Amino acid sequence: MTVVSGEGEGRALPAGEYWYEDLEPGDHYETGAIGVTEAHIVAFAGLSGDFFDVHMDDEFARAQGFPARVAHGLLGLALADGLKNRASVRIMAVASLGWNYRFKGAIFAGDRIRALIRVVAKRVSSKGQGLLTLGFEVRKQGGEVAQEGETTLLIRFRPGRALPAGPPD
């Protein structure tokens, strides 16, 4: 799993639009934050159909060792992806091609989360499309990493630029 936080190579990206050509492995940025609410948890249960007791029943969650019911892991991932899409750093992506993701700690109503995002890799596919892999760390208000993982995005080239050559898939 890619470690996103900490000092290291790469630029801290300022606000702006970033195309395939603009990004390099190690480039990184932090999103804004969002407060997770009870309404988020209930709405996500209704949307997903996941009414598992640990998400809906405080007594059940406490009996399992949690202080309260736990937000869905996929809700945390969805909120983190939304934070990425609303950030002042705009990756000129077309679509997500997949996720490799881990839930490391519980998120509860009242937690405030943000995402630390780092460019892990980029390449041109055999079809001539830009592919970008981003590493994510989702941190709670106290700095605890609640989730981490990677996503691969189909990303646009800067308009009017010649397509870069790349190794075949």
pLDDT digits (tens, 9 = 90+) for 68-84: 999 999 999 999 999 99
Predicted pLDDT at 58: 97
Predicted pLDDT at 4: 57
Predicted pLDDT at 168: 54
Predicted pLDDT at 160: 82
25 phi/psi in degrees, rounded to 5:
-55, 135
Predicted pLDDT at 38: 97
Predicted pLDDT at 59: 98
Which is nearest to 23 in space by CA: 116, 88, 83, 92?
A: 92
Amino acid at position 92, single letter: M
The Cβ of residue 69 has, within 10 Å, a number of other Cβ atoms equal to: 23
**Three-state secondary structure along 85-130?**
HHCCEEECEEEEEEEEEEECCCCCCCCEEEEEEEEEEEEECCCCCE
Predicted pLDDT at 2: 52
The sign one gets for the Cα dihedral 101, 107, 110, 114 is negative
Give the C-alpha separation, 84 to 30, whole Å. Answer: 9
Ranges in the chain, pLDDT < 50: 1
Give the C-alpha separation, 40 to 125, whole Å. Answer: 37
> Which stretches of the chain are assigned E, i.e. beta strand?
16-18, 28-35, 89-91, 93-103, 112-124, 130-140, 145-155
Give the C-alpha separation, 85 to 93, whole Å. Answer: 10
Predicted pLDDT at 116: 98
Q: Which CATH class, in words, describes the domain spanning 16-155?
A: alpha beta
Predicted pLDDT at 6: 52
Q: Between β-strands 16-18 and 93-103, what pairing exists: parallel, antiparallel or unpaired?
A: unpaired
Amino acid at position 159, single letter: P
Predicted pLDDT at 163: 58
Predicted pLDDT at 9: 77
